[in-house]
Amino acid sequence: MTPIRFASTSPSLMAEKVVICGAGFIGKQIARTLTRSQKLNFCVQLSSRHPQKSYDQLKESIPCGTLLSPVSVDVRDMSSLAAAFEKSSLVISLIGIMHGSPKDFEDIQWRGASNVAKAAQSVGAKLVHFSSIGADPSSSIPYTRTKGLGEISVLEHCPSATVIRPSLVFGPEDDFFNRFSRLSQLLPFLPVFGGGTSRFQPVYVEDLARAVEIIATADTQVKKEVYGKIIEAGGPDVFTYRELMSLVLKYNGRHRPIVSLPFFVGQVQGFFLEKLPFNMFTVTRAQIEQLKSDNVVQDVEGSLNFVSFEKLLRTYCEPPRSVHDVLPGYLR
């Protein structure tokens, strides 16, 4: 394996302030990884509209003195971002929503992402911006369209930013495998739509965090590789949606039929369910539409704008991990 090349450090080096803007499932794992890093001395600040809950969940398990007090921000308010990002060397933008009106998606995933990039650039901080595979500014789906518009705006205001586009993210606190495992306790079958043939490339949340650590501790060579580039992040395995449901049942030990429903049935369900408060049964019409497309890493060999996620991890630490290595440890 190629030796890891990281920036040098010493015990006396002053801690670098990292702001994780968006303190959910992925953000918490990045905080754990960076505060335990042996490569540089990091202090992490969680910033979101309501970061206190995530802070309380982390503070007992993170080394003393490395988790700063949380700071509430509104990505629609530049002044709150500027105050939160002050003296930071790195900003990790994880802002995004799964449900909302078209205006909500525009305000958060497009204009909010743009504001984060402007604020990071204004304080001279490096920026890692999380988007999603399939981000497309011309899409008719609000989530996908605003992710694409957000990427364009981020790179316009912060040209050295690294954009990470994950496929389906899994780990002990994920909202996909855990959700369907819970549903398998309540439902007599697990549903898929349109035959469940759309493909996904699940990526382990700790591998995403390791990629961020590589970027955060980058030496000159790594900076050349990742600054201003897009990283599509997927794990070593590709599964159809039906196969993902089979994995849920395999590792939680339950036996349920997997039933395919037509897409139009999903659209009807989404019409009603998206109007109700979010719960484990929630599905939206936009999510059903997204299931018509694959969510896998594209071939980036020879591309000047893209970096291979697998190659990055293999070169500087370890290869991405499979769902088969991780799911048995937490699915019930």
Q: Is residue 182 part of a domain?
A: no
Mean pLDDT of the chain: 92
**Mean predicted confidence (pLDDT) in 283-293:** 91
- Compute the average pLDDT of residues 246-261: 97
Amino acid letter, 181: S
Q: How many residues does the chain have?
A: 332
When pLDDT is averaged across residues 44-63 and rounded to a whole number, the result is: 93
Q: Is residue 262 part of a domain?
A: no
In a domain, 52, yes or no: yes
d(CA 210, CA 38): 12
36: number of Cβ within 10 Å: 13
Q: How far apart are CA 257 and CA 179, in angstroms?
A: 17
Kindly report the backbone phi and psi dihedral angles of residue 73, in degrees, each rounded to the nearest multiple of 5, phi listed first. -135, 160
Dihedral, 242, 248, 254, 258 alpha carbons, nearest 10: -10
CA–CA separation, 183 vs 24, rounded Å?
Answer: 22
Classify residue 157: in a domain, yes or no: yes
H or E element at residue 153: helix 142-157
Tell me if 243 is assigned to some domain: no
pLDDT of 77? 92
**Tokens 């939160």 appear where?**
84
Across 4-33, average pLDDT? 74
Helix (H) or strand (E) holding 128: strand 126-130
**Tokens 């690294």, located at residue:** 162
- Return the CATH number at 57: 3.40.50.720
Q: Among all chains, which residue has been given the structure tokens 């803007």?
A: 21
Structural domain of 47:
16-166
Q: Per the domain annotation, does 150 fall within a domain?
A: yes
DSSP labels, 285-319: HHHHHHTTS-B-PPP-TT-SSEEEHHHHHHHHS-P
pLDDT digits (tens, 9 = 90+) for 200-215: 999 999 999 999 999 9
| CA dihedral for 57, 212, 39, 41, sign (positive or negative) | negative
pLDDT band at 40 (very low <50, low <70, confident <90, very high): confident
User: Taking 50 as the threshold, does the pLDDT of residue 10 lie above it?
Assistant: no
State the average pLDDT over residues 301-318.
90
Alpha-carbon gap, residue 208 to 33, rounded angstroms: 10
Share of the chain above pLDDT 70, in %: 96
What does the alpha-carbon distance between residue 98 and residue 109 come to, in Å, rounded to a whole number? 10
**pLDDT exceeds 50 at position 128:** yes
Whole-angstrom distance, CA of residue 208 vs CA of residue 32: 12
Q: How confident is the model at residue 14 (pLDDT cuts 50, 70, 90)?
A: low
For the chain, give the percent of residues with pLDDT over 90: 80
Q: Is residue 215 assigned to a domain?
A: no
Is residue 96 in a domain? Answer: yes
Q: What is residue 327's DSSP assignment?
A: G
Number of domains in the chain: 1
The pTM of the whole model exceeds 0.85: yes
pLDDT at 243 over 70: yes
pLDDT higher than threshold 70 for residue 8: no
Local confidence band at 275 (pLDDT 50, 70, 90 cut-offs): confident
* Longest alpha-carbon distance in the chain: 61
Closest CA to 128 of 9, 5, 229, 58: 229
Cα–Cα distance between 120 and 297 in angstroms, integer? 28
